[in-house]
Amino acid sequence: MKKSMIALLLAATAATPVLADPPSDFRVKARAEVGNERAQQRRNAAAQRQRQRRQAQAERRETQQARVTAHQRQQRRAQAERREAQQARAGARVEARQTAQRRAEARQAAQRRSQAQARVNARRDRTRVAAAAELRAERQRARTRAQAQARREAHGRADLRAQRRQRAAALEARRDRTLAQQRVERRRQLALREGRSDRREALQAARIRQQRLSQRRAALIQAQARREAAVYRRSLQRERVRNSRLARLYRAERRQDAIRARMRQQSRWRAQWRNERLWQARLERRDYQNWLRRQRANELFQLRRAAYGGWQQPQPVIVYVVGQQLPASYASYNVPPQYRRTYYDTPEHAFRYDDRADSIYRVDRRTNLVEEVVTMLAGAFNIGQPMPSGYDAYNLPYEYRGSYVDNDDYLYRYDGRDVYQVDADSGIVQSVVTALGSEFGIGQPLPSGYDAYNLPWQYRDQYVDGPDSLYRYSGGDIYQVDARTGLIEAILPTLFG
């Protein structure tokens, strides 16, 4: 309303011819109203600007809150992806370890079968050679026995004739003695008839005993003759049996020669098959190593992206070692089902699983101290760590057994990825001899491009550069390098390598 009045006054003033100066109070009022209007406009503009500033601040706060929410969502998504990657990596490692174990068992079974077959073949060869020698000796003995038997038969016939003549002479002599005795007996009977009756009975009993003795002697002589004839017949039967056995042995030797020829052909076929299987196993192991390198590179990329994507330092993985006390959060039994048949609680020890390090701890129930760390990862044993149970047998791949052989001082064990040199007395890992899945090997010079210290955050407190050794990271492994020569001295596998 005031604006419209002021505008009408101004228009009237402009249209009215200037005859004289208007009253001073009217001009003052008009100027005051104009000033008030302009002040009101300035206040309205300031209020409008203040409202715009407040609205802009509210929009900035909403935008910042949306950014914070998106960042939190991104962090939660990265954590979920990291957990999924860890689970997939653990499953792949378990499957790879099971596959390697099955292959090692198959190789050991094939080696045992080949050794058993070699022993059987050697035993058969020795048996055949001994049988042939025995056959030849038996033939020689048979000839000797036949000759001796012929000589014995000739001597036996002569002895038999002599014995018959002697028996005939003895029978004649007995007959003469019997006749003489009978004549004497008749005389005695004639004499005794005049004697007492008791003397007669005694002489008669003596005569009966004498006759019985004579009959027994004749029966013994006939029985001896029959036994000698039976012995002669049995000796002839034994000789025929020996001859038939020698003939059967000769035929069996011919059959064994044919079987030996077939077995030599089969052994050549088996050797060719073993060579083909060995070559196929080498190709499969090479493919597995290539896949393992790619898998480790992918996991390392995922881990670095999850760890450094939000410009935050990753939290180190806490791994308990032998001698440390396990916290109270490990009070309940949490071993995965696939390991519970092997690692179960006892009155003296308890077994607890750490999913962050993929390890099983053996804990003393009295002191609650870790006594043994059984890792489930391949390539997770470090120098100075005791080799866990389950690595008692020699399990290196066949192509490395000629280079790494157990002796009185050191043992060599393979965990599916690396070969470890273990002290034979204490069971402590002395060095990582060779990492079959590593990019560089022990004794090689570290290539250029590794001048800067590049270890992940969780290992920088444990491995620090010194005047004698440097530590560099590549492809999931930590390499200990000689500071003067630049040669790799040891390979220290990481938990995510």
Answer yes or no: pTM beyond 0.75. no
Q: What is the mean pLDDT of residues 179-191?
A: 80
Same domain, 226 and 351: no
310 or 116, which is more confident?
116
C-alpha distances (whole Å) from 68 to each of 64, 65, 188, 309 are: 6, 5, 156, 15
Alpha-carbon distance of 408 to 396, in angstroms, equals: 17
Q: Is residue 152 part of a domain?
A: yes
Q: What is the mean pLDDT of residues 162-172?
A: 83
Amino acid at site 234: R
Q: Is residue 277 part of a domain?
A: yes
End-to-end CA distance of the chain: 83
Quick one: pLDDT at residue 416?
Answer: 66
Q: Which residue among 291, 324, 352 closes a domain?
A: 291
Same domain, 139 and 222: yes
Same domain, 198 and 161: yes
Number of structural domains found in the chain: 2
Indicate the Cα dihedral angle 343, 349, 351, 357, nearest 10°: -120
Range of the domain at 287: 104-291
| Tokens 């390979």, residue located | 491
Same domain, 247 and 362: no
Q: Is residue 243 part of a domain?
A: yes
Alpha-carbon distance of 310 to 78, in angstroms, equals: 9
Alpha-carbon distance of 85 to 94, in angstroms, equals: 14
SS3 state at 386: strand
In the numeric block, which tokens belong to residue 395?
A: 């399990």
Same domain, 260 and 343: no
Same domain, 163 and 229: yes
In the numeric block, which tokens belong to residue 219?
A: 């029966």
Strand 429-435: give its sheet, edge to edge: 410-414, 418-423, 429-435
Least confident of 39-53, 153-167, 195-209, 219-233: 195-209
Q: Is residue 137 part of a domain?
A: yes
Q: Is residue 218 part of a domain?
A: yes
Same domain, 119 and 220: yes
pLDDT above 70 as % of the chain: 80
Nearest alpha-carbon partner for 325 in 286, 365, 355: 365
Query: If you average pLDDT over each of 1-10, 47-56, 369-378, 474-483, which comes out highest?
Result: 47-56
Same domain, 274 and 346: no
Same domain, 145 and 285: yes
Q: What is the mean pLDDT of residues 7-12?
A: 54
Q: Is residue 46 part of a domain?
A: no
Q: Give the E-state strand segments of 202-355 in sequence order.
A: 349-354
What pLDDT digit, counting tens, does each position of 350-394 carry?
A: 999 887 777 788 899 989 888 877 766 545 566 667 787 777 788
Same domain, 228 and 137: yes
Q: Torsions phi, psi of 7, nearest 5?
A: -65, -40
C-alpha distances (whole Å) from 47 to each of 44, 53, 57, 222, 318 are: 5, 10, 15, 160, 59
CB contact at 8 A, 425 and 449: no
Same domain, 272 and 353: no
Same domain, 324 and 287: no
Burial (CB count <10 Å: 0-12, 13-18, 19+), residue 401: middle
Contacts 24+ apart (CB under 8 A), 231-236: 232/153, 232/156, 235/149
CA 132 to chain centroid, in Å, comes to 44
Amino acid at site 450: Y
Q: What is the mean pLDDT of residues 247-271?
A: 83
Is the pLDDT at 5 greater than 70, yes or no? no
| Local structure of residue 187 (DSSP, 8 states) | H
Q: Is residue 75 part of a domain?
A: no
Q: Is residue 242 part of a domain?
A: yes
